[in-house]
Amino acid sequence: MSSTPPIVILTEVDRPAIQAHLLRLSSDDRRLRFFCTISDDGVRHYASTILDFKTTTVFGAFRGKDLIGMACLAKATSTSAEAAFSIDANERGTGLARELMRAVIRRGRELKLQKLCMSCLRYNTKMQALAVSFGLDLKLDFYEAYAELGFPAGYKLQTASVPAMTEGV
């Protein structure tokens, strides 16, 4: 697989690419991403209507015209937001989710959040390993894992900073 493409911020014009990316996820991956079974129609509804760019910053990476991975940072309260990630199956293991996590954390700082959260299913050890590697505090319950990162004054991203980002594509 070639190198990780640059991370960009997605906008309204990217809804078709977001839909196509999410439709490529298997039913198991959709469950990992959305915590429930979600049909093709459900994915279309999410991509066209539910995803709200006013409250959610969406980062993505393209290979050609295909959106191969994305991360949503959705405002939960005025001082906290929740992140969720998805990568095309054939693009995994190359560090793309790691780059998206960097972008999400940097954005969290820009938004002056006090807290960044991430939830995943308990058996999603890959997502948990990624969160922990960025210093998120992980808690497990029977079904879910919940991770959060506080941004104390003077917080510095522990890893190399994200490459310059381009608005839109």
Ligand X SMILES: CC(C)(COP(=O)(O)OP(=O)(O)OC[C@H]1O[C@@H](n2cnc3c(N)ncnc32)[C@H](O)[C@@H]1OP(=O)(O)O)[C@@H](O)C(=O)NCCC(=O)NCCS
Residues that bind ligand X (CB under 6 A): 29, 32-33, 84-87, 92-98, 118, 120, 124-127, 129-130, 133
Q: How far is the CB of 126 from ligand X (least distance, A)?
A: 4
Shortest approach of ligand X to residue 39 CB, angstroms?
A: 17
Q: Which amino acid is at 156?
A: K
Q: The tokens 């129609």 sit on which residue? A: 41
Pick the closer one to ligand X by CB: 23 or 154: 23
Residue closer to ligand X (CB basis): 26 or 153? 26
Write out the H or E segment, with its range, that includes residue 21.
helix 15-24
**CA of 129: how far to CAs of 7, 70, 109, in Å?**
21, 18, 22
Give 14 or 21: the residue with its C-beta nearer to ligand X.
Answer: 21
Please identify, using beta-carbon distances, which residue of 81 and 154 lies nearer to ligand X: 81
State in angstroms the smallest separation of the CB of 128 from ligand X. 8
Q: C-beta of 92: minimal distance to ligand X in Å?
A: 3
The side-by-side arrangement of strands in the sheet containing 144-150 is 137-140, 144-150, 115-121, 80-87, 66-77, 56-63, 8-9, 166-167
CA distance 38 to 27: 7
